[in-house]
Chains A and B, each alone.
Chain A
Amino acid sequence: KAGVTQTPRYLIKTRGQQVTLSCSPISGHRSVSWYQQTPGQGLQFLFEYFSETQRNKGNFPGRFSGRQFSNSRSEMNVSTLELGDSALYLCASSPGLNSGNTIYFGEGSWLTVV
């Protein structure tokens, strides 16, 4: 069974640009969530999607947005990039909305803003 797949794995962007990251969950998983990981702040929750609906959003500015498609694949977008957006962006999937479900993380997308 394929794991959570994130693309691209590494990317470099310039301040002011925008970026789109993609996440393909494990087959059959309908819940997808996104996280930002930085050395200073640790793991921080960005958003969660279930059945194409955003169920929850973390404390991030409106420049961070996302969506989920009917096949459960998800994308997140960051507009007007800032240097502080440099981070590892992690996607995770789980079968559904049960707190006892295991969450599976992808390898992440490393974003560097210069």
Chain B
Amino acid sequence: DAKTTQPNSMESNEEEPVHLPCNHSTISGTDYIHWYRQLPSQGPEYVIHGLTSNVNNRMASLAIAEDRKSSTLILHRATLRDAAVYYCILRDIIQGAQKLVFGQGTRLTINP
């Protein structure tokens, strides 16, 4: 079964870039890579997702390795509001049923 592996915690400084890694060495060809973040006492918030190509949106960038066995979420200029637990999730639809694989999440601390 596919699984995702993330560092338990990372720390960065405000206004610096942050690179959050995720390993998914057993990813299948049709798994999408989704990233979510969760603030205390809130539900996970969508950040970005992709399949094969790198993706950019207003929140972040997603860099996907050529073999798709790893990906990196990039926050270009971290702010204090980016402090959260970041989850790397694999999502696929198999025979009409959703399959989700969650990582344990990376707790990101931003220092002022």
Contacts and interface: CB of A to CB of B under 8 A. Distances in A.
Contact of B43 (A44, A97, A107): A107
Given A98-B93, A103-B91, A33 B98 contact: yes
Given A42-B105, A90-B43, A102 B98 contact: no
Contacts of A107: 42-43
A103 B45 CA distance: 9
Contacts, number: 56
Contact of A45 (B31, B32, B46, B100): B100
Interface residues of B, number: 24
Interface of B: 30-32, 34, 36, 42-46, 49, 51, 87, 91-93, 96-100, 102, 104-105
Given A97-B93, A99-B93, A105 B43 contact: yes
A99 B92 contact: yes
Instruction: Name the prevailing secondary structure of the B interface residues.
Output: strand
Given A99-B30, A107-B43, A43 B96 contact: no
B105 A90 contact: no
Contact of B34 (A42, A50, A103): A103
A100 B51 CA distance: 8
